Structure 1
């Protein structure tokens, strides 16, 4: 198995933990709609 190369300049989908808003960006610190934290959808939640 080979790890995927991480490139911080790639555009990813980010999802809001509170309202579920999805945005595509290189980084997303907080939701543009409600201001809550966002998560990178490419990173699994365990």
Structure 2
């Protein structure tokens, strides 16, 4: 498995843990729809 090198200033695709909303942003923080934490889809979940 390759390590993912992310540039924190580059836009990435994020997905909401709760409702599944997908946004493209630099660092959205909370979901715009439900306020839950978002995850970067480019970072693997283990």
TM-score (norm 1): 0.84
RMSD over aligned Cα atoms? 1.6
Q: Do the aligned partners of residues 3 and 44 (structure 1) sit closer, same or farther apart at CA in structure 2, a change above 3 Å counting?
A: closer
* 1:10 paired residue number: 10
**Deviation of residue 6 (structure 1)?**
3.0
Q: Do the aligned partners of residues 45 and 34 (structure 1) sit closer, same or farther apart at CA in structure 2, a change above 3 Å counting?
A: same
List alignment gaps of at least 5 residues for structure 1.
Answer: none
Look at both structures and tell me which one has the larger radius of gyration over its CA atoms: 1
TM-score (norm 2): 0.84
